[in-house]
Structure 1
Amino acid sequence: MRLFFSAGAGYSHIAPLLPLAVAARDRGHDVVFATGSNALEHSRAHGLPTIGVDGPVDEAAARQAWGRYSPAELAVMSADEKLAYVVTVMAETGAAPRVDGMLASFREHRPDLVIAGAAEFAAPAAAAITGLPYVVHGIGPPKPASIMAGGWQALDPIVRRFGLDRFPDHDTVPYLDIWPEALRPRGITWDHPVYLPARPEGVLPSAGERPAAFEGLPHGKTVYVTAGTSHNTRPGVLETMISASHGEGINVIATIGRDGDRDRFGAQPAEVRIENFLPQQRILPYVDAIVCHAGAGTVLGSLAHGVPLVVSPLATDQFDMAAQVAEAGAGVLADPGSPTRSGIRDAVRTVLADPAYRDSAEALAARIAAMPDPGSVLDHLLTPSRSPGTR
């Protein structure tokens, strides 16, 4: 079968789709992975045939879309209102320029099924135009229908150019859900009510030696600090998270990004190790807690290893993920929007002192490990008699 994977041009959008794409390739399916031309290396590193699907960028239109609200108006919006706005603008500025390129790619590769990453709107638009079946692959927690509505509505004028009245309803489109159900809030009308759990294989524990960065650390407990791949250059964030543990009698391993500038952190005490990049699967087996921005990959990776978290969300759906971690008892929420030394310090003390946080994280690790593996997900997707569940 010919399978066409498509994801936004960012590592955090591409990585969640890679395990399913690799499993499909290994089972003999004809796989193509599409993303932005500036992000081809992530899927190519896994041996996947990868193409760039871009389009003409209208800088003026993008500035207008992102400047629809003034800073004062944004300041009084709720987190959900801000996220809904971001989703709408992502669809407006991302799908329209790329839909023609996506349609050309469909004509060339003739897929039988399209697997689109969540927040990747060009591929569903092109699938609707061509009548191709598609599924949506989660890249983080599922979203309420109210958050995503503006994004889907933004596809209406795009598909009208090709003879459709509007973008079709997607209530029966399967959603591959990598988020553990135990974290999901109740009483929500979800954007995709038809879903299939899919284990986030890329964040699971894997064999490997302890990194050399751990050698010679003086204390018995170690905290891992990260702001992911999108916020690691945000001024003051990593500096605050790292310095919060100074003098606390704990070790700190911090990663700052492949291109991060270590000099920006100045001299550090002997218990602090700052690295540009280490795979989190190699770090997490050897740490007692993680301090982070509540990014999806970081949260899932930490929970998959049974490591409790201190979460200081910075943007978009990180606030939701942080609240879910705290509600599940697997971590402590600290300083939403702007981490402080005292807030991070007190939260780290709490997480390390109370074993209940690790117990909750380990319980979630067991749930994540029990989710269907990529091969089982493929069997469900490609066997018509099998049906996903309904929320």
Structure 2
Amino acid sequence: MRLMFSSGAGYSHLAPMLPLARAARKAGDEVAFVTGPEAVRYLENTGLQAVSVGRPSDPDAAASRWRRAREEMAGMTADERLSHLVAEFMVGLGAAARLDDMVEFVRDWQPDLVIANLAERAAVMAAGLVGVPYAMHAIGPPKAAATMERAWEVANGLVRQRGLDALPPRDAVPYLDFWPAGLSPADVAWEYPTRWPLQPAGVVPTPGPRPAVLDGLPYDRTVYVTLGTTHNARPGVLESMVAALRDEPVNVVATIGRDGDVSRFGEQPDHVRIEQFVPQAQVLPAVDAVVCHGGSATVLGALAHGVPVVVLPLATDHFEVAAQIQAAEAGLAVDSNDGILDAVQKVLAERSYRESAESLAAEIAEQPAPAAVVARLHDLEVSIR
């Protein structure tokens, strides 16, 4: 079976798809992973065929687009902002710019199935234009059909320009969903209603070395602070998170990214440790709460270890994640750094938050592994034939 995976160029979008791509290759499938030129480096040493589509991003142009987006989204609700961002920027600008190159690759390589994700709608449109079936891979919580309606209007406009009346219906398209059902709201009409559960990448607890950053910490309880791989350089955010907890009698471990400047935090007491990078899976078994922005990898990692989460949402679907965490009582959402200390004190004091997180951990542990989902995709390909 020939499987084409496709992701936007952000590492946080590409990484969740790698376990399934590796499992497919191990099962004997021919796999090509299509992404932006700047992200090909993330595929080194994976054993996967890496394909670059589109032009490298221009930092100045990207900064200009973000300024424009912020201006256009001022005053919108969180759902409206996400809808606008996906439709007008991810699809109308990003996917549109690489669509013709994507179509050319799909026609030349002739995959049996395309596996795309939310951030790479060019692959979905290319599959429709060439007549190849596709599956959608989660990179965060599932999206409501109403939120994504405008994105589909833009996408259908782009394929009509290329001779296709409309993209095929989504009802039967498999949505490979690593988001725990216990977090997803009930009674929502989803963009992709056919859910195939999939265990998220690398979050289930496994034995491993205890990182040195945890040695010699003075307090009984530890809080892990992180902004993941995309937002860790946002000025002042991590600094304010750490400052909010600095005088609390808890250990604080913060990771700031491989290129982060530890000196920007100034001198810290012994119970506060600032590190560039520590594998999340090594830190989480030893912590009692996580403070983060709501990135899916961080949230899923915490919940898979039964650790409650305090979320300060920053962008895109972080607000959605924060609301779901709070509704599931697996943590708390705050709207500014001023609320972090109170929220951390509450999730540490009330056992119910830990119990809710542990319930979600049990659900994550039961989700099918990538190899099982690959076998299911093989059955799908046979039924399509």
With the length of structure 1 as denominator, give the TM-score of the two structures.
0.92
In 2, Cα distance between equivalents of 1:323 and 1:132: 36
Change (3 A) 1:34 1:269: same
Q: Deviations over 1:160-188 (max 9, x none)?
A: 23311233332221111110001110121
Aligned-partner Cα distance in 1 for 2:60–2:340:
40
Question: 2:381 & 2:28 partners in 1: Cα distance?
Answer: 21
Residues 70 and 198 of structure 1: CA distance in aligned 2, closer, same or farther (over 3 Å): closer
Deviations 1:308-335 (A, max 9, x none): 111111112111111111111111112x
2:113, 2:134 within 8 Å by CA — same for their partners in 1?
Answer: yes
| Cα distance per residue 1:204-224 (max 9 Å; x no partner) | 222210001111111111110
Partner Cα distance (1:61, 1:163) in 2 = 30
Structure 1 residue aligned with 2:375: 379
Question: Any unmatched runs of 5+ in structure 2?
Answer: none
Q: Distance in 2 between matches of 1:9 and 1:251?
A: 35
Equivalent position amino acid for 1:380 in 2: R
Q: For 2:245, what is the secondary structure of its paired residue?
A: coil
In structure 1, the partner of 2:337 is: 339
The whole-number CA distance in structure 2 between the counterparts of 1:70 and 1:306 is 35
1:294 alignment partner AA: G
Q: Structure 1 residues 60 and 369 mapped into 2: Cα distance closer, same or farther (>3 Å)?
A: closer
Pick one of 355, 358, 375 that aligns with 1:359: 355
Mean Cα displacement is larger for which, 370-379 or 162-171?
162-171
Q: Tell me if structure 1 keeps the 8 A contact 2:229–2:257.
A: yes
Mapping 1:32-43, distance limit 5 Å: 32-43=32-43
Q: 1:276 to 1:63 in 2, by over 3 A?
A: closer
Paired amino acid for 1:344? I
How much identity, in percent, do the aligned residues show? 53
Determine whether 1:307 maps to 2:307.
yes
Residue 344 (structure 2) pairs with residue 369 (structure 1): no
Aligned to 1:261: 261
Note the aligned Cα RMSD (angstroms): 2.2
Q: Tell me which residue corresponds to 1:79.
A: 78
Deviation track 1:21-62 (CA, whole Å, cap 9, x = no partner) reads 011011111111111111112232433221111148799998
In structure 2, give the amino acid aligned to 1:273.
Answer: R
**CA-to-aligned-CA distance 1:8-30 (integer Å, 9 cap, x gap):** 11111011111110110111111
Q: Describe how 1:1-391 pairs up with structure 2 within 5 A.
A: 1-55=1-55, 71=71, 74-88=73-87, 89-334=89-334, 336=335, 338-340=336-338, 343-384=339-380
The structure-2 alpha-carbon separation of the partners of 1:62 and 1:150, relative to structure 1 and needing over 3 Å to count, comes to: farther
* Partners of 1:55 and 1:217 in 2: CA distance: 47
Q: Structure 1 residues 36-45 or 315-324, which shifts more?
A: 36-45
Q: In the aligned structure 2, how far is the partner of 1:67 from the partner of 1:92?
A: 16
CA–CA distance in 2 between the matches of 1:52 and 1:372? Answer: 30
- The Cα offsets for residues 366-385 of structure 1, whole Å up to 9 and x where unpaired, read as 00110111111112222139
How big is the shift at 1:263?
Answer: 1.2
Provide the rounded CA distance (Å) in 1 between the counterparts of 2:69 and 2:364: 39
Q: Deviations over 1:348-387 (max 9, x none)?
A: 1111111211111111000011011111111222213999
Q: Deviations over 1:276-316 (max 9, x none)?
A: 11121111011111111111111111101111111111112
User: Aligned pair in 2 of structure 1 residues 193, 232: CA closer, same or farther (>3 Å)?
Assistant: same
Q: Distance in 2 between matches of 1:63 and 1:265?
A: 25
- Do the aligned partners of 1:62 and 1:93 also contact (CA within 8 Å) in 2? no
8 Å contact kept, 1:57–1:97 = no
Cα drift, residue 262 of structure 1 = 0.9
1:203·1:301 contact (CA, 8 Å) conserved in 2? Answer: yes
Q: How many residues align?
A: 382
**Deviation per residue, 1:117-169 (Å, 9 max, x gap):** 12210101110110001000010000001111122221223222331123333
* Partner AA of 1:227 in structure 2: L
Q: Distance in 1 between matches of 2:136 and 2:275?
A: 35
The structural deviation recorded for 1:66 is 6.0
Following the alignment from structure 1 to structure 2, what is the Cα–Cα distance between the partners of residues 50 and 39? 9
Maintained 8 Å contact 1:293/1:312: yes
Q: Is the 8 A contact 1:258 1:277 kept in 2?
A: yes
- Distance change >3 Å, CA 278–CA 67, structure 1 → 2: closer
Structure 1 unaligned blocks of 5 or more: none
Query: 2:326 & 2:241 partners in 1: Cα distance?
Result: 18
- 2: distance between equivalents of 1:59 and 1:290? 31
Shift in CA distance, 241/249, structure 1 to aligned 2, threshold 3 Å? same
Q: CA deviation at 1:63?
A: 8.7
> Partners in 2 of 1:66 and 1:344 — Cα distance?
27
SS at match of 1:115: strand
Equivalent residue letter for 2:226? T
Q: CA separation of 1:274/1:119 partners in 2, compared to 1, >3 Å: closer, same or farther?
A: same
Distance 1:59 1:47, change over 3 A: closer
1:64 and 1:262, CA in 2 relative to 1: closer, same or farther beyond 3 A?
closer
Measured at CA, do residues 223 and 100 of structure 1 come closer, stay the same or move farther in structure 2, by a change above 3 Å?
Answer: same
